[in-house]
Amino acid sequence: MGKKILIVDDDENIVRILAINLRLDGHEVFSAFDGASAVMQAHRHQPDLILLDIMMPAGNGFSVVERLRSSSRTFHIPIVFISALPKEDLDQKAAEAGVSHYFSKPFDMNALLYYINSGLYLEEARARAAG
């Protein structure tokens, strides 16, 4: 069964490509193009997963994660970063923020779909919550 997925990126082409592929894979997709909209959409739609860019206007990815983690309605939603920033520079900071995984742009769509469909993000989110 498909999942509800919120895509957050200021690059409309990336949002469109992700949305098409996720919908073709049976998922319900919502999108936001900046940090403020991301938080509103997460509260409105209660997605099963958020795919989140780091560098955006109106709140970067880390500030969005912080705001989502501080809300009782969204603190539990697994978040996956998708960013062009070097993974090595952000691994520790992302883990400390409670981000489930990190895909580097350009990303492998098949790997991302496998990650989502296999539920790996849930296992990683549970492991982080258990501490």
Percent of the chain predicted with pLDDT > 90: 63
DSSP string computed for 15-60: HHHHHHHHHHTT-EEEEESSHHHHHHHHHHH--SEEEE-SS-SSS-
Q: 4 near 28, Cβ under 8 Å?
A: yes
Give the residue, 59 or 14, on which the prediction is more confident: 14
Residue 90: the pLDDT is: 78
- For 62, how many CA atoms within 13 A lie in the half-sphere containing its CB? 9
Of 28, 24, 44, residue with least CA distance to 36: 44
In this model, does residue 16 exceed pLDDT 70?
yes
Of residues 27 and 92, more confidently modeled: 27
Alpha carbon distance 98, 92 (integer Å): 10
Confidence check: pLDDT of 22 > 90:
yes
Q: What are the extents of the domains in the chain?
A: 4-130
Second-level CATH architecture of 4-130: 3-Layer(aba) Sandwich (3.40)
With beta carbons less than 8 A apart as the criterion, state whether 101 and 115 touch.
yes
0.85 surpassed by pTM: yes
At residue 130, the pLDDT reads: 67
Residue 128 has pLDDT above 70, yes or no: no
pLDDT tens profile 53-103: 999 887 799 999 999 999 999 999 999 999 888 777 777 788 888 888 889
pLDDT of 123 strictly over 90 = no
pLDDT at position 12 over 70 = yes
Mean pLDDT across the chain, nearest whole number?
A: 90
